[in-house]
Amino acid sequence: MDPKKAIVVDTSLLLHSPDAIPSFKDNVVVIPFPVLQELDHHKEKGGNGTAAAARQVIRLLDDYRQRGSLLEGVPTLGGGFLLVDMHPFIPSGVSAHLLDMTKPDDFIIGVALRWKHRRTIASDARAQNGKKGQGQKGRPFFPHLGPLSETILVTKDINLRIKAAAFNLVAEDYKKDRLVTTPDQLYSGIARIPVDAAGFKEVAGKLFGEQGGAHRLSLTDAAELMDIPELLPNQCCIFEPGESRERKYILALYKADPAKGAYFSPVKKPSEERGNEIKPRNIEQAFAYALLMDPAIEIVSLSGIAGGGKTLMALLAGLNQTAPKTGKGVYEQILVYRANSEIGTPLGYLKGSLVDKWGPWAQPILDSLELLSMGKELERFETKPTMDSKTKSYNLEEMIDGKNKKIQIQPINFVRGRSLHYKFVVVDETQNFTAPDIKKVITRIGKGSKIVLTGDIDQIDNLYLDQVSNGLSHATECMKGQPIFGHITFTRSERSPLAEIAAKLL
């Protein structure tokens, strides 16, 4: 068993992961006193869920307080201790003016230094105890906690980790909530499977037969034609002729059905003809659309490059399964949730009703819906038809403002407590959600509904999240392998050549 460590935590960690304390198992978790003051501030004035997180942490600490003294250390379920430290320390050789104890971060560093130099402090206490009449009686440094191997400051605050390193402290990010360690390990949802020319032809024949309609290719039959890698349910597969220089490929979804067995289901290639409506324009969009239209898949996550068409494909699938003209009626309503994140300096208070206030944040969704309603009219700038020829694919005004309100665009702030049945739910910009946030949203989904999570992990606004720890990546890594889940990572932008270049270079 590894020796125990002293783990000093700060406010950013506890707000990010309110349940972090039990995850440190048999170690000693130290909470500097300013953290309690900051939690008190956030419990009432915190935004974007931090108030609820702060209250959750406070309730947990109160539960520990009732078990013993937090100043002496309360045993945890994992065999460690939890305590609050009110005494920072500046070791000899460090100038006092470098640490301003009125600032929470400096106080936290001072507490971490105290635990790092605990042996020196304990020796001084014993020396003072041996000298009669030398002031306050000293004592060893928390002897009941047992030996500790090292002190680690764990924080989501990057700058605090940098400052701590300047004082030769070990400072780390919180990694318990990470299922992978680097972005390149994230699940892409796509598998490329090489097959020889003869096998390629047979695969094409079995998936797209001459009798009309799609066929299935069983895993057993596929394994006789090629080497099949380990696949997850609903993984998107690209069959490619290994030695052919032609741009041939076959698209399929891998299905693992307990009743029908494991098999590959064909996916239609992206359309090269515009037609009268928007269609998938590349392989990634074709796979995404297939996942979104599959009634057996209840949750889909779409991640990747700006302009890749994540939200557009989600709305297209939603419209085609909700719009009355299709006659399918799979879902009763499309609900789109977004976070009210701003770029630059916040505008502050906005006058008007909730509809008026929410208008600027709803506009990106309205832009995509307008795009879908225009259909072939997107070509008018290239072909220059007369404006009299303009026809709409969907009556957006009726769907948004009509009697039945088939489409609603709402702030994510108000989703708590809802039960969403028979809805097609799109949650946009989820790269800015924490893992607890995404759990709160997904658990709202009820019977007969589908939820789609979209986001670009290269455009994270939350200071304490990164490409791996954000809610979108967390949900993808947790859900992969479930038969009701599908995922695609977009790497190609279709918005415009400029948008694609900017996304990759800037």
Same domain, yes or no: 328 and 186? no
Read off φ and ψ for residue 217, nearest 5 degrees. -115, 115
Q: Which of 223-227, 307-311, 393-397, 436-440 has the lowest mean pLDDT?
A: 393-397
Q: Which has the higher per-residue pLDDT, 38 or 503?
A: 38
The pLDDT value given to residue 50: 81
Question: What is the mean predicted confidence (pLDDT) over 407-429?
Answer: 90
The CATH number of whichever domain residue 151 belongs to comes to: 3.40.50.1010
- Residue 1 covered by a domain: no
The pLDDT value given to residue 276: 56
As a whole-number percent, the residues of the chain with pLDDT over 70 amount to: 82
The pLDDT value given to residue 375: 62
Same domain, yes or no: 190 and 302? no
Same domain, yes or no: 25 and 160? yes
Same domain, yes or no: 160 and 227? no
Q: What confidence tier does 410 reach under pLDDT thresholds 50, 70, 90? A: confident
Report the phi/psi class of residue 37: left, alpha or beta, with left for phi > 0 and alpha for psi in -120 to 50.
alpha
Residue 335 per-residue DSSP state: E
The pLDDT value given to residue 346: 60
> What's the CA gap between 425 and 335, in Å, rounded?
5
- Whether 368 and 311 have beta carbons less than 8 Å apart is answered as yes
Residue 30 has pLDDT above 90, yes or no: yes
- Residue 346 covered by a domain: yes
Residue 334 has pLDDT above 50, yes or no: yes
Q: Which has the higher per-residue pLDDT, 180 or 9?
A: 9
Same domain, yes or no: 135 and 37? yes
The pLDDT value given to residue 147: 86
Q: Which of 116-120, 339-343, 470-474 has the lowest mean pLDDT?
A: 339-343
Residue 97 CB: number of other CB atoms within 10 A?
Answer: 6
Q: What confidence tier does 343 reach under pLDDT thresholds 50, 70, 90? A: low
| Domain's final residue, options 241, 267, 293 | 267
Same domain, yes or no: 446 and 321? yes
- Residue 112 covered by a domain: yes
Q: Which of 241-245, 260-264, 465-469 has the lowest mean pLDDT?
A: 241-245
Residue 35 has pLDDT above 80, yes or no: yes
The pLDDT value given to residue 310: 95
Residue 493 has pLDDT above 60, yes or no: yes
In DSSP notation, 266-310 reads EEPPPPSS-TTS----SHHHHHHHHHHH-TT--EEEEEESTTSSH
Same domain, yes or no: 307 and 158? no
- Residue 148 covered by a domain: yes
Same domain, yes or no: 205 and 167? no
- Residue 227 covered by a domain: yes
Same domain, yes or no: 406 and 288? yes
Q: What confidence tier does 169 reach under pLDDT thresholds 50, 70, 90? A: very high
- Residue 222 covered by a domain: yes
Instruction: For tokens 């596929």, name the residue.
Output: 222
| Domain's final residue, options 139, 172, 205 | 172
The pLDDT value given to residue 214: 56
117-153 confidence digits (pLDDT tens): 887 776 665 555 555 444 334 445 788 888 889 999 9
The pLDDT value given to residue 130: 54
The pLDDT value given to residue 167: 93
- Residue 29 covered by a domain: yes
Q: Which of 52-66, 85-99, 157-171, 185-199 has the lowest mean pLDDT?
A: 85-99
As a whole-number percent, the residues of the chain with pLDDT over 90 amount to: 53
Same domain, yes or no: 153 and 64? yes
The domain in which residue 222 lies consists of 181-267
> CA 468, 416, 324: angle at the middle one, nearest 5?
95
Query: What type of residue sits at position 348?
Result: G
- Residue 23 covered by a domain: yes
Q: Which has the higher per-residue pLDDT, 425 or 18?
A: 425
Instruction: For tokens 């030695």, name the residue.
Output: 243
Q: What confidence tier does 91 reach under pLDDT thresholds 50, 70, 90? A: confident
Burial 307-322 (b: 16+ CB within 10 A, else e): bbbbbbbbbbbbbbbb
The pLDDT value given to residue 119: 75
Q: What confidence tier does 44 reach under pLDDT thresholds 50, 70, 90? A: confident
Question: What is the mean predicted confidence (pLDDT) over 307-317?
Answer: 93
Residue 387 has pLDDT above 50, yes or no: no
Question: What is the mean predicted confidence (pLDDT) over 291-317?
Answer: 95
| Domain's final residue, options 238, 267, 296 | 267
> What's the CA gap between 372 and 315, in Å, rounded?
8
The pLDDT value given to residue 47: 65
The pLDDT value given to residue 392: 54
Average pLDDT in the chain: 84
> What's the CA gap between 240 and 214, in Å, rounded?
19
Strand partners, 252: 237, 266
Q: What confidence tier does 381 reach under pLDDT thresholds 50, 70, 90? A: very low
If one counts the domains in the chain, the total is 3
Burial 196-205 (b: 16+ CB within 10 A, else e): eeebbebbbe
Residue 326 has pLDDT above 70, yes or no: no
Residue 211 has pLDDT above 80, yes or no: no
Question: What is the mean predicted confidence (pLDDT) over 493-497?
Answer: 86
The pLDDT value given to residue 403: 72
Same domain, yes or no: 136 and 196? no
The CATH number of whichever domain residue 409 belongs to comes to: 3.40.50.300
